Amino acid sequence: MSTRKPSSSPAPGSVGEYLRAQGISRRGFLKFCTATASMMALSPAFVPRLVEALEKAPRPSVIWLSFQECTGCTESLTRSHAPTVEGLIFDAISLDYHHTLQAASGEAAELAREEAMKENWGKYVLVVDGSIPLGNPGFSTIAGISNVDMLMDTAKGAAAIVSVGTCAAYGGLPQADPNPTGAVSVQDLIKDKPIINVPGCPPIPVVITGVLAHFLAFGLPELDELNRPKVFYGQNIHDRCYRRPFYERGQFAETFDDEGAKKGWCLYKLGCKGPTTYNACATTKWNQGASFPIESGHGCLGCSEPRFWDGGSFYKALSVPTGDLGQTAGYALAAGGAVGIAAGLLARQKKAQAVKDHETVTVNDLHKGEHS
Ligand code: FSX
């Protein structure tokens, strides 16, 4: 355990000071840090480090751009209950510009963006939701500026970019065949900045804010091969699913209203994409941890994976023999695609390494927490 006690006075201008000024008590702040650490799957020994880091972290300037999307990502974040971990951390950032949430519009809004960029050059976090149309940049413009021009201009002075939602991370629904607008993702365009992908259609709100909290406290999180933070996307739904015992016993619902469905059996044969989907739904859940789609009787659609809209029918079973899934920690394979044994083995090895990496990071972090 750490012997270092967190300081009782947060640094001026810090996240900690801001939260105190908002009436968040010391006890409330510690509770918030404990909940955040638990959300990041960190041990309680990590909490003092988080408290100290957040008390010192300067409130970052955040510029949030929304392009081709359905506003589900912002809805996800703002529809959370209050006061919450996500509400607290959302308040603790200095959200200088957000197309959907800000009161200003037109030229005044653009002036706010330019000022925030100038004042915080090199330090602000750029959050993007939605994909960017290249086929005809005029398809989507804000104050007469095309999405691609606004993204490239705003990215120049950003410390890091967080792509919120599957549209910003991979192209998402707008990019689905036949991709009429020529939609691309943020990482297709920006190559010289750190990019954190927070996919999901929409993403889990506490995951959005958890990524921001991690960035504030410790900097960039460790990312997987799709630039997703391993702390939230390190395990697949199948491996954490509470219906897994039914899978292991070969008990599958065949229709949505048969006896198996009523008994809560595995939804694999009804098209659940849990085995190929990496996200925190099965552990973090939604709506204050109330439930998640599989718990409500519907299979996972795989919304945090690239091209999930085009990856095969939502209601068609994965073309992976059920026996092959039993002992795997999940496949990194395309939903609905033909899968060979060699590909399965390779994916298994890859996943095993990813899990190992994640454990190493956590253990190392705790180690630092104990001795720094
Ligand atoms: Fe896409 Fe988000 Fe799905 Fe919608 O901003 S990830 S369509 S929930 O709104 O971008």
DSSP for residue 81: -
Look at 32-41, 109-118, 249-258, 335-344 and tell me which has the smallest mean pLDDT: 335-344
Within this chain, do residues 76 and 189 fall inside the same structural domain, yes or no? yes
Q: Confidence band (pLDDT; 50, 70, 90) for 334?
A: very low
Please tell me which of 13-22, 67-76, 78-87, 179-188 the model is most confident about, judged by mean pLDDT: 179-188
What confidence tier does 328 reach under pLDDT thresholds 50, 70, 90? very low
Q: If we measure between CA atoms, which residue out of 173, 177, 172, 185 comes closest to residue 132?
A: 185
Range of the domain at 192: 60-230
Read off the pLDDT of each residue in 121-129 and give the average, rounded to a whole number: 94
**What pLDDT is recorded for position 322?**
57
Model pLDDT, residue 360: 26
Can you tell me which atom of ligand 1 is nearest the CA of 166?
6
The reply to whether 134 and 209 lie within a common domain is yes
Torsion of Cα atoms, 341 then 345 then 350 then 353, to 10°: 170
Q: Per the domain annotation, does 338 fall within a domain?
A: no
How far is Cα 11 from Cα 139, in angstroms, rounded to an integer?
45
Cα within 13 Å of Cα(270), Cβ side: 21
Q: For residue 68, which atom of ligand 1 is closest to its CA?
A: 10
Q: Which residues pair with 132 in a beta bridge?
A: 184
Q: Are residues 155 and 299 in the same domain?
A: no
* C-alpha distances in Å from residue 88, one per residue of 28, 38, 57, 161, 202: 10, 16, 15, 21, 20
What is residue 8's predicted lDDT score, i.e. its pLDDT? 56
What number is the average pLDDT over the span 103-124?
A: 88
Please choose from 70, 77, 147, 204 the residue to mutate so as to test ligand 1's pocket, defined by most ligand atoms within 8 A of CB: 70
Centre of ligand 1 from the C-alpha of residue 188, in Å:
17
Examine the domain organization and report whether 8 and 87 are in the same domain.
no
pLDDT at 351: 39
Atom nearest to 173 CA in ligand 1 = 7
CA of residue 131 to ligand 1 center, whole Å: 9
**Dihedrals phi, psi of 90, to nearest 5 degrees:** -65, -40
The ligand 1 site (C-beta within 6 Å) comprises 69-73, 129-130, 165-167, 172-173, 201-202
Q: What is the 3-state secondary structure (H, E, C) of 258-322?
A: CHHHHCCCECHHHCCCHHHCECCHHHHCECCCCECHHHHCCCCCCCCCCCCCCCCCCCCCCCCCH
Kindly state whether residues 215 and 275 are assigned to the same domain.
Answer: no
Which of 64, 75, 79, 129 best tests ligand 1's pocket when mutated (most atoms within 8 Å of CB)?
A: 129
DSSP letter at 221 equals P
Q: Do 53 and 66 fall within a single domain?
A: no
CA–CA dist 77, 200 (Å, integer): 12
How many CA within 13 A on the CB side of residue 166? 24
**Among 19-23, 152-156, 159-163, the least confident range:** 19-23
- Regarding whether 216 and 140 lie in a shared domain, the answer is yes
Ligand 1 midpoint to CA 237 (Å): 20
Q: Closest residue (by CA) to atom 3 of ligand 1?
A: 201
pTM: 0.81
**HSE (side-chain half, CA atoms, 13 Å) at 294:** 28
What token pair was written down for 192?
């010289």
In a domain, 350, yes or no: no
For residues 87 and 149, state if they share a domain.
Answer: yes
Count how many domains the chain has: 3
Mean pLDDT of 327-351: 35
Q: Which atom of ligand 1 is nearest to the CA of 130?
A: 10
User: How far, in Å, is the centroid of ligand 1 from the Cα of 124?
Assistant: 23
Task: Report how far ligand 1's centroid is from the alpha carbon of 200 (Å).
Answer: 8
Which atom, in ligand 1's list, is nearest to the CA of 129? 5
Give the residue ranges of DSSP H helices in the chain.
15-21, 26-39, 47-56, 72-78, 85-92, 106-119, 147-155, 166-170, 172-175, 186-189, 205-218, 230-233, 237-240, 244-248, 259-262, 281-284, 322-325, 341-371
State the Cα–Cα distance between residues 87 and 81, nearest whole angstrom.
8
Q: What's 122's domain CATH number? A: 3.40.50.700
Q: Residue 28, class by beta-carbon neighbours within 10 Å (0-12 exposed, 13-18 middle, 19+ buried)?
A: middle
State the closest ligand 1 atom to the C-alpha of 75, by its place in the atom list counted from 1.
Answer: 9
pLDDT higher for 106 or 1? 106
pLDDT at 81 over 60: no
The DSSP 8-state label assigned to residue 132 in this structure reads E
CA distances from 313 to 172, 213, 302 (A): 16, 36, 11
Look at ligand 1, atom 2, and give the residue with the nearest C-alpha. 73
Regarding whether 252 and 213 lie in a shared domain, the answer is no
Region 133-150: mean pLDDT is 92
* Statement to judge: residues 222 and 240 lie in one domain: no
Q: Answer with the residue of higher pLDDT: 54 or 70.
A: 70
Mean pLDDT score, 309-335: 62
Residue 67 has pLDDT above 90, yes or no: yes
The pair of structure tokens assigned to 235 is 């395990």
Given a cut of 50, whether residue 222 has pLDDT beyond it is yes
Shared-domain flag, residues 8 and 48: yes
Q: Which of 306, 303, 349, 316 is nearest to 330 (CA)?
A: 349
Would residue 341 count as lying in a domain? no
